[in-house]
Chains A and B, each alone.
Chain A
Amino acid sequence: MKNKLNGQSVKNLIIRNVHIVDPANKIDEVMDFHVKSHRIVKWGKDLAAEEAEIMDAKKLYLLPGLIDMHVHFREPGFEHKETIETGAQAAIAGGFVGCVTMPNTKPACDNAQVVKYQMERANVLNFNIFPAGTLTQGREGKKISEMAEMKAAGAVAVTDDGNWVVDSGVARRVYEYAATYGLPILSHAEDPTISLNGVMNEGIVSTQLGLRGRPNASEDIATARDIELVRLIKCQLHFQHVSTRGAVDMIRRARAEGLPITAEATPHHIALTDEEFVKYDTFYKMNPPLRTEEDRQAVIKGLEDGTIDTIATDHAPHAFEEKDQDIEVAPPGTIGLESSFGVVMTELYHGRKWKLEEIVKKMSLVPADILKKANFGRLKTGEQANFILVDLNQEWVFNEENVHSKSINSCFYGRKLRGKVLHTFVKGYQYNLS
């Protein structure tokens, strides 16, 4: 494995002069922060030394650890792309302390055994994994998965991931069943009968490049259907990686009606458009595809007016040989954990003058709330240390050296970023990233 990150067990540490931002506790000021035996002791002005190791963190910010509601760690079954271990490394490198893993493993995470396996692996690695189980058995869109047992084993949500349940009758039943157990449904709303073999967004760029397209309509139709099922069932439904203007508009209206809907956007849909495809580089191939500038702006606006609650990476590692295939054949997806914070800071904090607490909400607090993980997304005395130290202004260029994932398929290489995670504290272990 490449330059492995090793965590130092935190015994007794006081971080001095650090600017703490924690919207849940309404903290936004420079203080000292005390961690002892892996747990948060307290924070406050001029804490007594108490024989602790002192770390001066002047000009740095301390934020609750980031939560990614959408990652692919590929284990079991596709360990050549990623393992829970390498996925956790990538997450830690990006400032994430917990990730929701998608169930498109092999076998699919459609039963309690796989849920338990994934959580145990993460436990051994001192990382927090919140597995999502499937909606249907084998992600085939036919029979309901054993959701009750999966929930009991620790699954936090259900989804068939890239296989949106096309049959509306089946979808109604599985959504109802999920609602029975209060499991949020994660919906990759994209109608495959329209997307078909499309490689990129369908628009003027795909026409210019001679590539088959996936029109906005494929996402909009799927979004509309799911909204109607939520209206019918009142299930909690979370739209993954919203990418079209139409979907943002529909979700905004549905939420205004009070439907229990949440949504996420990815850093790549926030930062990039389909123009990136001009070099026919498969690293820009993802589902849903990078859309037009109009869609990108709509997604940002959705984030700003609260239509979209969270930012999630859809970290989708694929081996280089797989990505290196013909553009029609290469699997879709980009890795995203390592670049996410830098991209979001660059685009939204610096680029659009967001408040830091808004970033924390979208990347930590709200995901934790959606997942009902009350110990995450905020600082809590007595709980395990899960937080990050960041430099808001550090400028850096994202490149392959920053990647800790087993795969290197990032769409952000060469990008100048501003804002970097310098230390990640997970379960009381400190990882120095600088």
Chain B
Amino acid sequence: MSPSEKQVLDEGGIERVLARMAHEILERNQGTSNLALIGIRTRGVFLAERLQKKIFEIEQKKIPVGILDITLYRDDLSEVGPKPEIHETDISFDLKRKVVILMDDVLFTGRTIRAALDALIDLGRPKVIRLAVLVDRGHRELPIKADYVGKNVPTSLQETVIIRLKEKDGKDEAVILGGTPA
């Protein structure tokens, strides 16, 4: 961690938060029936996979996990060029009548979630879509709210929230970057 970073969750913190979210999801859904997890590329996918594991530990039931790439639905797509790379969406189960838990790492403006909702609805018609995020940093630009929040982290617009996960970054932590002008 560099000096300008402020850690808000460490490895143990992320573990505990995900465990709590797993319980909350199961409680609200009254078990695993029709439950499905969909992670938003990239880190949302790892978080969804971890939630799947936690839920299995609790209920001994493996619920399906899907991968969603929202690039094609970004509302700034016509503004950016060269075009961002597109990765595959991989949802191998039928969304019909599913209770979908959409998982992302950070909830910020809400635009990613808007794109994800459009993408999901093009893929099928789930019964319910709920949103789970590891960190909610505020500053919404769209009327979007998370159903399950790992941690609320008040930030200024100048700050950046970074989630690091073992699967990609070698360690688990959530940090706030920048903010105080040098």
| A and B touching (Cβ–Cβ under 8 A) | no
Interface residues of A (CB under 8 A from B): none
Interface residues of B (CB under 8 A from A): none
